[in-house]
Structure 1
């Protein structure tokens, strides 16, 4: 069990190898599952023509619904098969995964185990340092206290590729509860 006195940078260094082991041993195998790949490809096609103003409007709608405790947009995403798949992976992790969400080629949520505070992740390292960095990119963020789960967690993100051609189609972020490692 960690103490609150530890520093964020020390925590990130302390758990990074364990986090990468989890990514490689438990997660990489299901990133090519059709539940994930097909959902990302479908959303990429649906959102191909969206511009920045459209994306901003979707993000604002999501944020308003998240603040209100839910709504049509959030329920639509949580009701997708990919969200059910991710929720099952979270529930089967014995508390190691505190959240899981998948992003499309623009950085918008495709599916998730839990409601995120925003819909657009494309302005954050979790998407920029993975999807934009190429097919093998992995980004382990610092350990931070997560208010919603009341735990210390680190997010690990990686690019998701189309198994047919190896090209990036999106990214995934997993919140790792470091207290359960």
Structure 2
């Protein structure tokens, strides 16, 4: 092997190792512990608030027995409107409802620790949200599937740098339980600024 080939091979190994270290740091147990603490019902009391629980249960009842074709139709309409950048009555209805207003107050009062909240029902449809989303149905995504159908008590993404703020953000999804019987009724995704978890 020539000296140039040794150098190329060394660079490739270094890049591979750097990627491995990066992936390992994203799964840092200390970070997971901080996230778990930050999204616990003790820290996020709104998770058991009757108004939040009631909003999810109401939508679950409204969509009981809904066909997947109808979900796809509503999702396609939402996505088309979001892509076009024009009016989106479905998004407006969700983002301006009472539970969304309540969640926006939670974000505003978090001192920057919480960047966004998305509340989903037992089909993965948006119930309340504090920011825009490109789709109405989250039931085909890990943030809903891992928690609602996969029975994980926490699903979190690797921290990623936000293009606008420069903050390192992670999405943490947790089950939403009905306090009366502790049955799972939906999922809450909470986007956290990892640098502010200890504050």
In 1, Cα distance between equivalents of 2:173 and 2:104: 17
Unpaired segments ≥5 residues, structure 1: none
Unpaired segments ≥5 residues, structure 2: 1-18
Match of 1:49 in 2: 65
> Match for 2:170 among 138, 144, 154?
154
Does 1:11 pair with 2:26? yes
Task: Give a deviation string over 1:11-51, Cα, whole Å, max 9, x none.
Answer: 34252221111112421x22111121111011111111321
8 Å Cα contact 1:12/1:141 also seen in 2: no
In 1, Cα distance between equivalents of 2:27 and 2:111: 21
What are the within-5 Å matches in structure 2 for residues 19-58 of structure 1? 19-24=35-40, 25-27=42-44, 29-58=45-74
Match of 1:81 in 2: 98
TM-score of the two chains, using structure 2 as the length reference: 0.79
Match of 1:166 in 2: 182
State the shift of 1:66 in Å.
Answer: 2.2
Quote the RMSD (CA, aligned, Å). Answer: 2.1
TM-score of the two chains, using structure 1 as the length reference: 0.87
In 2, Cα distance between equivalents of 1:70 and 1:177: 30
In 2, Cα distance between equivalents of 1:59 and 1:86: 22
Match of 2:109 in 1: 92
Structure with higher Rg: it is: 2
Q: Helix, strand or coil: the match of 1:160?
A: strand
Task: Give a deviation string over 1:128-167, Cα, whole Å, max 9, x none.
Answer: 1112234x72212211234466532111111111111111
Match of 1:112 in 2: 129
Task: Give a deviation string over 1:51-102, Cα, whole Å, max 9, x none.
Answer: 1111111111111222315521111001111101110111111111111011
Q: Highest relative contact order (Cα 8 Å, sep 6+), 1 or 2?
A: 1
Of the structure 1 ranges 67-76 and 40-49, higher mean CA displacement relative to structure 2 is found in: 67-76
How many residue pairs end up in the alignment? Answer: 175
